[in-house]
Structure formats: structure tokens, C-alpha cells
Amino acid sequence: MVLAFIVPLFATDNYSVASEKEPNTIIPSDIIFADPISITSDLELSAAASSGIGSSGDPYIIENLDINSIDFDGIYISGTSSHFLIRNCTIITPNTYGIDIYNVATGTANVWNCSITAGISGIRVRNSNYPNIFNNTIDGCDTAGLELSGCYSADLYNNTIFDNHFGIYVIACYHSNIYYNYVYDNADDGIQVQDSDETVIQYNTCNNNVDGIEVYSCYDPFVGNNWLNDNELFGIYIRWSDYARVGGNNFHACGLGVYDGDKDKLLTLQVTSNYIDGSLIYYGENVTDENIWLRYSQFILVNCSNVQISSQDELSLSLYQAISLLFCEDIDVRFCFINDAFYGIDYLHSVEIKIYNNTIDGFNSAIICSNVTGGFIRENVLANGVTGVTFFDEVDNYSIYENNLKDLTGYGIQLLNSDDNEVFHNNFINAGVSASYGYDSGAGNYWYNITLLAGNYWSNWVAGSYAIDGPAGTFDMYPLSSPYVPPPIVPELMNLSWFLIILFSIVPAVLTYYKKRK
């Protein structure tokens, strides 16, 4: 239907393409200043149209109107069964909807080439199947530029949507097609699709939003071949969505995020061939016994075990999560350099995660985790950010030691509702703005080693024990008077150690051999 309408539209003599405007902008030559229009029947639709008979080949046409209204929707249509096309209208409604379409017959609603600034949503379509929304420019809306609910097989194509709350917001729809839209500078997500199955989101450009594209609680969505640039959190965020497919997307200064609290459902996700600035995103499911040392732009591991992420020094800038681990066991992250990520290393629902010898610079939280048991964080440099290490919830039986945390504006380490952890031999240097550089709301946490009777170095410590902020009421009982320096590794001792290991391994075998000979 779209192609059949496009050809006569652009062949009409009443319109000319403006060379100084966006490529999709068409300037009518015969604008009509009009009052708001409310249509609730086919008779009213026929009366409002300038031409057409209401058929699919010759729809009622409402065109070239300039509507400016404070109290009413620009154009409201409901309960009709005839085909209609709203095109080339300029609508400004600072307190209401620009165009509101509700419960019209299947395949009859078409809105093309309109320019809309509205207070609530620019175009809202509800309970109307097969609507076609093409080549519109929408801005200034407090809810969404384009809002869709209860619709089947909508086509949202080639629209320019900016400076709204959401750019495109789709909820409780089925089989929507969202193609070739330019969505930018919105206060929340550029495109958000929720509770809408088999949605196709393809060939869109989403820049400078919170999330470029967010898909939430959907079945079998496809998100592919989009361009995502400079979005605040994720370029694409897929959560609680079964059998989602994500591929062929290109990112700049943002990346990919996935989440589901159910591991089996998360494992239905298919992710292939996504790139940040031409560098591949590593997405691994069910990977075991692997050392990953080839360079990637971002890491996401799901249900992996005995994996080492090593020597990554080309991770992209401005990511929300540089390295993300979900439902993993026995993972080492070591000798990596992470710069300018909101979360440097983020891991959830995992066991025995070991983070060591990494440098993370510029972050909201360098290392953050929740629902994790066992592991350690050691010998990392965490600098020039907000909080160094955050245990968010139920992170237990962990050791945090020999890290350098410096020049932070939050806390060096905060343990939130996390128990039985040990924090010692760390250097906190200008690691916060509070009187304490640590925070604890858990139980059984020690801010010193109970065997060595050694705590941490705090650059703002004066004398006595060092109080840790938070309801746990904990203290570092043995603060260090100078920064902790690990003892040097002496090569001769290392060689001796190896010699002793080999010797003690061989001796039992030799003795057994001689006993058998006797």
C-alpha cells in the first residue's frame, strides 16, 4: 500500500522539494489555516476531506492544513471505516495531541509528510491495525513523538523525531515494522518497544537519546542494521525478551546491553555481528575453558565458565558497561584497560569471579556486582571516577585487597547488603568526599585482615581506628600509616619454588619405582 500511495504523491504538481531542507521535507504551495478537526464517523470524514472517495485506491485526503490549537487535538479521528490520508499538514498543539487516531478500520489510517509539535504526543494511534505513518517530522512532545498501542502490523517509516520524551513508543502491539526513522535528542529512549511481539526494528538511526533502542518484555523481536550514536546508556538494550535477535548493528560511543533474571530465557537471545566503530562486540553464551585475548570493543558473557578475559586494551569509550557477566562461574578478568565507561566491569548472578591487575579510569562505578558468591578483586587501579567498587546486593564471601583507589567523588568501596567480605591492603587516596572513604550496610564484613591484623591506607586518616560510613557500624581497626606496597617478587625465589615443586612431585614416583624393583 505504501508504494502505491507514494508515486502519485510525489508526482502531484502542488508540491515542491525544498533543497535547503531535510531530504524528506516537502513544502506545500497552498497552505490552509484551519481549526482543529474532530471526526467520529465516515460522514464527518468525507466532509473534512478535500478529495477522495474513501477507498483504498482513492482515500479521503486531508491535506495542506496549518492547525494551531492550545486546548484541542489538531486532528482526531475515531470509529471510521473508510480509508484516509492525512498529508502535508503543519500542526502545533502545545497541550494536547497533534494527530490522534483511535479504533479505525483495518488498513485505513495513513499519515504522511506532516510537521507536528505537540504537548503530549505528536501522533498517537490506538486499536487500529495496519496504520501507515510515513515521512513525518515530530518534536516537542512530553510523552512521545510517535505513540502506538493495541495495533497490529503498523508501518512506522522514515520519520524524523527529536526533542521529545520518547521518540517512538510502542506498547501492546503485534508485528510492528519500524524502519528508516531518524530519532535523536530525546529525553528518554529513542525507540522503546514494550509487550509487543514480533516487532521488527531495522535501519533506524538513533542518536543522543538515553537508550537508542530499548526492547522490553517482547517475544521474538528483531533489531538489526541500525545505527546508534552517542546514546547516554545503551545503544540497544534488550531485557526480559524471549528469542530476541540482534544483529548487524553499528554503534558509536555506546554499546549493547542485555538482561533477564531467568537464565534459560536469556539464553534464547541470538546476537551476531554487532560493531562499535568497526570493532566487533564479543557476545558469548555457554563458552567454557577459553582464554580470550583477541581485541574486542565490548564483552558480554552469559552462562560461561572457566573463561579468562585478558589484556583487553581496545575496549570502546563511553560505554555503559564495558565488560558484563551474567550467570557465569569461574571467570578471570585481568590486565585490561577500561576508560570512560559508566560501569567498567558489571557482573550479576555469578560465582567465583576474579578481577585483577586491571586499570579502570573515568567511571560511575569501576566494578559493580550483585548476587555473587566467592572470588576476589585485587591489584587494580581505579581512578578518576565516582565509586571504585560497589557490591550492590548479596555479594558474599569476597576478598578485596591490594587495590589503588584514588581521586574519587563517591566512595572508594561500598558494600550494600552484602555479607562476610574482607577488605584489606588497599590504598584509598582522595577516594571520596565524605569523612569516610568506605560504606557498609552488610553484616560480618571486615575492613582489615583478621590474621595479619592489617587494614587499609586511608589518605584522610588521622589517628586510631578508621570509621566506615553506613548502618553496619564497622571500622578499620588497623589502618596503615603509609600506602601499601606489595612485596617484590624475587626471581631466585620463584625459581627455587618451581624447583621444590618439581622435586616433591618426582620423589614419590622414584621411591615407588625402587620399592617395586625390590
What's the average model confidence in pLDDT over 117-145?
Answer: 98
pLDDT at residue 15, rounded to an integer: 27
pLDDT at residue 9, rounded to an integer: 33
pLDDT at residue 17, rounded to an integer: 28
pLDDT at residue 121, rounded to an integer: 98
- Asked if residues 367 and 360 have their Cβ atoms less than 8 Å apart, the reply is yes
pLDDT at residue 511, rounded to an integer: 52
pLDDT at residue 98, rounded to an integer: 98
| CA 283 – CA 298 distance, rounded (Å) | 8
What's the average model confidence in pLDDT over 28-49?
Answer: 91
Q: What is the pairing mode between strands 288-292 and 387-396?
A: unpaired
Of 146, 147, 191, 196, nearest in space to 172 by CA: 196
> Residue for cell digits 510517535?
146
Percentage, residues of the chain above pLDDT 90: 87
pLDDT at residue 264, rounded to an integer: 97
| CA 457 – CA 479 distance, rounded (Å) | 6
What letter does residue 315 receive in the DSSP assignment? P
> Cα–Cα–Cα angle for 268, 270, 271, nearest 5°?
145
Taking only the tens place, the pLDDT of each residue in 272-306 is: 999 999 999 999 999 999 999 999 999 999 999 99
Q: What is the pairing mode between strands 37-39 and 32-34?
A: unpaired
pLDDT confidence of 5, banded at 50, 70, 90? Answer: very low
> Strand pairing partners for 285?
302
SS3 labels along 100-113: EEECCCCCCEEEEC
Give long-range contacts, CB 8 A cutoff, 24+ apart: 316-322.
316/251, 316/253, 316/255, 316/276, 316/277, 316/279, 317/253, 317/341, 318/230, 318/253, 318/254, 319/254, 319/255, 319/276, 320/233, 320/234, 320/254, 320/255, 320/257, 321/255, 321/257, 321/346, 322/255, 322/298
What's the average model confidence in pLDDT over 82-105?
Answer: 98
Cα–Cα distances (Å) from 245 to 199, 293, 472, 473, in that order, read 10, 26, 44, 47
pLDDT at residue 31, rounded to an integer: 84
What's the average model confidence in pLDDT over 228-251?
Answer: 98
The alpha-carbon radius of gyration of the chain (Å, integer) is 30
pLDDT at residue 502, rounded to an integer: 52
pLDDT at residue 487, rounded to an integer: 87
| Residue 79 clears pLDDT 50, i.e. is over it | yes
DSSP assignment of 335-383, as one string? S-EEES-SEEEEEEEEEEEEEES-EEES-SEEEEEEEEEEEEEES-EEE
pLDDT at residue 513, rounded to an integer: 46
Taking only the tens place, the pLDDT of each residue in 395-424 is: 999 999 999 999 999 999 999 999 999 999
Percentage, residues of the chain above pLDDT 70: 89
| CA 342 – CA 473 distance, rounded (Å) | 29
Residues contacting 450, CB < 8 A, separation 6+: 422
| CA 6 – CA 132 distance, rounded (Å) | 12
Q: In this predicted structure, which of 26-35, 75-84, 451-460 has the lowest mean pLDDT?
A: 26-35
Q: Mean pLDDT over all residues of the chain? A: 91
Q: In this predicted structure, which of 13-27, 54-68, 188-202, 490-504 has the lowest mean pLDDT?
A: 13-27
Of 205, 93, 179, 207, nearest in space to 140 by CA: 93
| Residue 481 grid coordinates | 600509616
| Residue 247 clears pLDDT 70, i.e. is over it | yes
pLDDT at residue 8, rounded to an integer: 32
| CA 298 – CA 279 distance, rounded (Å) | 9
- Asked if residues 467 and 441 have their Cβ atoms less than 8 Å apart, the reply is no
| CA 154 – CA 232 distance, rounded (Å) | 28
pLDDT at residue 317, rounded to an integer: 93
What's the average model confidence in pLDDT over 337-363?
Answer: 98
Give long-range contacts, CB 8 A cutoff, 24+ apart: 11-14.
14/64
| CA 62 – CA 93 distance, rounded (Å) | 18
What's the average model confidence in pLDDT over 328-337?
Answer: 98
317 versus 9: the higher-pLDDT residue is 317
What's the average model confidence in pLDDT over 468-487?
Answer: 97
| Residue 504 clears pLDDT 60, i.e. is over it | no
Using a cut of 0.85, tell me whether the model's pTM lies above it: yes
Q: Mapping DSSP to helix (H, G, I), strand (E, B) and coil, where does residue 2 land?
A: helix
| Residue 487 grid coordinates | 612485596
Find the helix or strand (DSSP H, E) in which 505 lies: helix 491-517
